[in-house]
Amino acid sequence: MHVIGLMSGTSVDGIDAALVEISGLETDLQVKLLAGATYPYPEILQSQILAVGAGKPISMAEFAALDDAIATQFAQAALAVQAGHTPADLIGSHGQTVYHRPPKKDQRTNDKVVSSSPLGYSLQLGRGAAIAHLTGISTVSNFRVADIAAGGQGAPLVPRVDAYLLGHATQSRCVQNIGGIGNVTYLPARSTANWEQQVRGWDTGPGNMLLDLAVQQLSQGAKTYDQDGAWAATGTPCQVLVEQWLQQDFFQQAPPKSTGRELFGLDYLKDCFADAGRYQLSDADFLATLTELTARSIAHSYGAFLPQLPDQVLLGGGGSRNLYLKQRLQVHLPSASVITTDEVGLSADFKEAIAFAVLAYWRHHGIPGNLPQVTGAAKAIALGEIHLVATSGRDSIESHPH
């Protein structure tokens, strides 16, 4: 089956689109990347998304316009990535997260639930019905809501896909995505008893999010990120500060856990700048310290929450190109070899888009997408809402201005 996966993550840099050929189901799952491209958002749309994500209030009319502008961009990305190929049978569209509130953990006394907390809430814009209509391709969207309704975090959802694409017969692996936020999938060797139940995963904390915001501020907007980690590499991390930051609840909390810009956004960075002022850090030292927070929060969580450290760490996402970050991660995980998913045959740039193609394919086959031990959901569920396209084909995208 030919499936298009569409993903725009917490960095809000653009839409990753992957056209893949998928066969098999779970243990025999095979994915071949036929085409992959990133389509940057128009600047105005990007700044609207960032503003809403940072809590700017908008009217329902503005909300509707934003939802459809995002859907239009996603539909255009789908059509562009499949140009020159056989039209796809299905689209899996993650959409754009603009709000994510994990569920609060139940308050327990003597093992009795004394206060039952509300469900989590996660909102991805770019409605699937519109994408299906505009592309003429049946579309699965809204992947997180069913897991959340079952009491889960709704994230991360990639671990079950990582498991079947990257599980190794004899080696244990951590698949570490470093996007705006970092998230890990731990895969014990496939020979382990009850293998799928032993897979673990959680959000590790900030990936590039704080670093990107800091680079933008320190360069007065001239740079959007620290290319290859070159700027941070000229500084020295302040370990005392990293120790202090790592005491924060999120890093100490055991999984299931997920997070976003709501926690590691501009307000968090403001506090980091204030702390750094007390140590008189140079700009490069500050960036090195934020990079160290990403590296050490990842390594700390492996040490604290895994049954054993992995043999290999496979990096994915844009942060896998940050050479300084990769080097710091290797320093903090000396017993593992830190490489990228590219080196084991899966595109580090398009891994998340590929994962949403697989989740849509699993939804089509009625196969669960979440791992309850990862998200905390009460059960494994097929994820996503299906928007079927009848026979009429696609409407003109140009007729939907944004």
Which 337-356 positions form the footprint of ligand ATP (CB under 6 A)? 352
Is residue 146 within 8 A of residue 383, CB to CB? The reply is yes
Consult the annotation and say whether 115 binds a ligand: no
Consult the annotation and say whether 49 binds a ligand: no
Closest among 118, 78, 119, 120 to 95, alpha carbons compared: 78
Rg over alpha carbons for the chain, rounded to the nearest Å, is 21
- Cβ neighbours, 10 Å, residue 278: 10
Angle at 297 between CA 293 and CA 303, to 5 degrees: 145
One residue of 98, 181, 357, 377 binding ligand AH0 per CB under 6 A: 181
Consult the annotation and say whether 13 binds a ligand: yes
- 302-330 burial string, b = 16+ CB within 10 Å, else e? beebbeebbebbbbbbbbbbbebbbebbb
Consult the annotation and say whether 12 binds a ligand: yes
Which one, 227 or 244, has the nearer CB to ligand ATP? 227
One residue of 322, 341, 370, 375 binding ligand ATP per CB under 6 A: 322
76 binds, among ligand ATP, ligand AH0, none (CB under 5 to 8 A by kind): none
| Strands 337-340, 312-316: pairing kind | parallel
For the CB of residue 327, give the shortest distance to ligand AH0 in the complex, in Å: 22
Q: At what angle do helices 283-305 and 323-332 cross, to 10 degrees?
A: 40
157 binds, among ligand AH0, ligand ATP, none (CB under 5 to 8 A by kind): ligand AH0
Binding segment for ligand AH0 (CB under 6 A), chosen from 129-137, 179-187, 224-232, 264-272, is 179-187
One residue of 319, 368, 372, 376 binding ligand ATP per CB under 6 A: 319
**DSSP code per residue over 160-184:** HHHHHHH--SS--EEEEEESSEEEE
> Judged by CB under 6 A, does residue 126 bind ligand AH0?
no
For the CB of residue 258, give the shortest distance to ligand AH0 in the complex, in Å: 5
Q: At what angle do helices 283-305 and 209-218 cross, to 10 degrees?
A: 180
What CA–CA distance (Å, rounded) separates 165 from 184?
Answer: 14
Q: At what angle do helices 159-166 and 351-364 cross, to 10 degrees?
A: 100
Which one, 138 or 185, has the nearer CB to ligand ATP? 185
11 binds, among ligand ATP, ligand AH0, none (CB under 5 to 8 A by kind): ligand ATP
Q: Return residues touching ligand ATP (CB under 6 A).
A: 9-11, 13, 177, 179-181, 207-208, 212, 225-229, 317-319, 321-322, 352
Binding-site ranges for ligand AH0 (CB under 6 A)? 9-10, 97, 100, 122, 155-158, 177, 179, 181, 183, 203, 258, 260, 352
